[in-house]
Amino acid sequence: MSHDPLRERVGLLLDGEERFSSAVEEVRNPGRPQEVVGTFAVGDPAHIDAAVRQAAAVQKGWGGSDPADRAAALRRAAERIEEHAERLAVLASRESGSLIALCRWEATAAAQAFRNAADHLSAVSGYAEHGDAAIGDRVLVHRRPFGVVACIVPWNAPMILSANKLAAALATGNAVVMKPSPLAPLAASRLAQIVATCLPAGLVSVVGGGADVGEALLDHDLVRKVSFTGGGATARVIMARAARTLTPVHFELGGNDPALVLEDADLEAAARGIAAAAFRRGGQVCFAVKRVYVHQAVAAEFEDLLVAHLDGMRVGDALDETVTMGPLISRRQCEDIRAVAARARAVGREVVACGVPVGELADGHFHLPTVVLGAHHEDEVVGIEQFGPILPIVRSSSEAEMIRLANDSEYGLCSSIWSQDDERALAIAGRIEVGVTFVNRHEFSPQGSKWIPFGGVKQSGIGWENSPAGLGEFLQYHSIDSRSSAAASA
């Protein structure tokens, strides 16, 4: 039987080669669940053990190599990702339901993440020297890699989230064993395979599978650091598991980003930007706007403008270039969003479904962009990370109240302030308890940014990605405090 060219067949990446295991799972297009996009090989504890042991052996040479050589390898990886960008983008769009335009951006941003890490490497390499030569006291402070890093990534932006981890961990001299999400493992695995062709065999491995494979990786005693992007519930399980060996964790987690629309905002720009930021990937973005606080003096006008923007959204196949919102990742995700909307309606909120369905959506996991008007800060739909196309709008009476409500959350990923008074907006931005605050934008992705340390405070994360701070997550200190033999004998 000939191989279907539309079906991607992805193996494990072990010892620099693609290996096919007997256990295989299908990946389906969330917009057309009858369409199998491809299959991926599922690993077991023996694969994890082989991957980690080899990574530990190869890392010794890589960790001690010249940073300039590592930077050159990362730049080659960036070029190779770009050569394959269109193929990767189509694959990611088909398996995750993200719009093809967004996946093209993601593939390019993934390549850029490798260049950024190469550029930043000199800032975190080398050593500092301190001490007093006159009394024979010399201190050398080195930064060195952890060794083998376990990277566990989610499905919603599989290429850029994998690239962020791979680039920073490899640049700083670590080896990586990566576990992609079983919901969208194909493009992330292909990306890692492409990167691996520029590196010593076994420095990067990929083992596919679900929570059990992830746990086998966490439990390996040669794993020295865990870098995880995903949900808070999973992070709690991972942290408890890592606690057994006190393995340090780096977490990029969920958010409940507030947008604050002040009475002096450009309401048209705010409605346009918030519509784009809240419904990007159908709201399945960690830094999507997930609640809006709008000053009551302008609330009615802002809500009308927002609904008008959402009514213009075209919901359909992610590969259709005229579509502006694709499907959700799973039937369950659709059902969860429908249930949240129903409960909001049951407590008296106005739930408005917007947008235009395009084409045949019958079987796909589609949900129209939806706003909840008249929401209260205490409502379920305001407090949770919905992770879908539903956006509550809360009317607020003052700037002080908006700041208080924005900060009244267990999350602290991103936020945005919308005002035409730049100084006022900056002053408010400084008072929001999050990792990143935007002013008059929120749709811009800080993922893959060269200079913005991306991450969350409170329960949105531990540590940072991007920028020299992101590389710092994969380095630890080693200091040599030396007394000269002459001074010691004196």
Helix or strand run (H / E) with residue 300: helix 299-311
Q: What is the CA radius of gyration of the chain?
A: 24
Is 252 among the residues known to form the active site? yes
**HSE on the CB side for 425, CA within 13 Å?**
21
CA 332 to chain CA centroid, nearest Å: 21
- Give least dist CB 106 to ligand NAD, A: 12
Map the footprint of ligand NAD across residues 238-297, applying CB under 6 A: 238, 252-255, 286
From 68-76, 88-96, 200-208, 232-240, give the range in contact with ligand NAD by CB under 6 A: 232-240
- Identify whether the C-beta of residue 238 lies closer than 8 Å to the C-beta of residue 226: yes
Residue 178 interacting with ligand NAD (CB under 6 A): no
Nearer residue to ligand NAD within complex by CB, 62 or 411: 411
Nearer residue to ligand NAD within complex by CB, 35 or 215: 215
Question: Is the four-CA dihedral 206, 212, 216, 218 of positive or negative sign?
Answer: positive
Contact code string over 138-157 relative to ligand NAD, x by CB under 6 A: --------------xxxxxx
The count of residues interacting with ligand NAD (CB under 6 A) is 31
397: exposed, middle or buried (C-beta count within 10 Å: 0-12, 13-18, 19+)?
exposed
Contact code string over 396-435 relative to ligand NAD, x by CB under 6 A: -----------------x----------------------
Residue from 44, 49, 215, 263 touching ligand NAD (CB under 6 A): that is 215
Residue 237 interacting with ligand NAD (CB under 6 A): yes
Alpha carbon distances (Å) from 377 to 85, 267, 394, 406, 434: 42, 21, 7, 9, 18
Identified catalytic residue from 151, 198, 286, 414: 286
- Give least dist CB 80 to ligand NAD, A: 24
Please identify the residue of the shown chain whose CB is closest to the bound ligand NAD: 214
SS (H, E, C) 162-219: HHHHHHHHHHCCCEEEEECCCCCCHHHHHHHHHHHCCCCCCCEEECECCHHHHHHHHH
Measured distance CA(273)–CA(103) in Å, rounded: 20
- Give least dist CB 215 to ligand NAD, A: 5
Identified catalytic residue from 8, 95, 252, 465: 252
Is 286 among the residues known to form the active site? yes
Residue 172 interacting with ligand NAD (CB under 6 A): no
- Give least dist CB 273 to ligand NAD, A: 20
User: What are 258's two structure tokens?
Assistant: 């507030």
Residue 29 interacting with ligand NAD (CB under 6 A): no
Alpha-helix runs per DSSP H in 354-397: 380-383
- Give least dist CB 182 to ligand NAD, A: 6
454: exposed, middle or buried (C-beta count within 10 Å: 0-12, 13-18, 19+)?
buried
Measured distance CA(486)–CA(79) in Å, rounded: 52
Binding site for ligand NAD (CB under 6 A): 152-157, 161, 179, 181-182, 210-211, 214-215, 218, 229-231, 234, 237-238, 252-255, 286, 385, 387, 413, 456, 461
